[in-house]
Amino acid sequence: MQIEKIKILNEEEIKQIEKIIEKNYGAKIVLSKFSVLKTAEEKIWIASKDCLKFLSDKLKINLIGLNFGKLKRNDKINLTIEGSQIVGKDVVKNVVYLSEITAEKFLKGSDVKPEKEIDCEYHNFVIVKFNEEILGSSLLTEEKLKNLLPKSRRIF
């Protein structure tokens, strides 16, 4: 098994990710208070700055921190559930709300039709909410909310 290359992002690269989040969700978050890392697959991980003190060339570390999301082409970001919950409290656009019934279907893995859309751009990632609970991030099309929840995070 080959160990994936992880890059520690500098301030300029972190600011670029913050701009992508602000452009897509209207939320101003400060990632510079964390160590931000990027894998070869464009996955973004965040960790406390103290975590990097323990890294050395002698340690073989595959991953560190919290999986925040994955950068996509055209300045888009697909946030993980945890990334959605970090960003979601300040989000003002690309937000969809589900009813209790559709939220349950969504958490079980089904594609659903959102009850309410706030300043949404189709074919973009949106924050999914039920009341004020943040359920994650998924892709919104004209017809439906495409479920992107990993199978391991669904309910049965």
What is the mean pLDDT of the segment spanning 106-122?
A: 95
Cβ-Cβ contacts under 8 Å for 130 (sequence gap 6 or more): 97, 98, 99, 100, 103
Where in the chain is CATH 3.10.450.220? 1-91
Distance CA 45, CA 29 (A): 15
Where in the chain is CATH 3.10.450.720? 93-156
Which contiguous run of DSSP H or E holds residue 71? Answer: strand 66-72
Sign of the alpha-carbon torsion through 107, 110, 111, 117: negative
**CATH for 93-156, options being 3.30.70.270, 1.10.390.10, 3.10.450.720, 3.90.1150.150:** 3.10.450.720
Reported as a pLDDT band with limits 50, 70 and 90, residue 60 is low
* pLDDT at residue 124 tops 90: yes
Sign of the alpha-carbon torsion through 24, 25, 28, 32: negative
**CATH for 1-91, options being 3.10.450.220, 2.40.30.170, 3.30.43.10, 2.40.110.10:** 3.10.450.220
What is the mean pLDDT of the segment spanning 121-130?
A: 96
How would you class 81 by CB atoms within 10 Å of its CB: exposed for 0-12, middle for 13-18, buried for 19 or more?
middle
Query: pLDDT tens digits, residue range 47-59?
Result: 998 877 766 555 6
Distance of CA 113 to the CA centre of its chain: 21
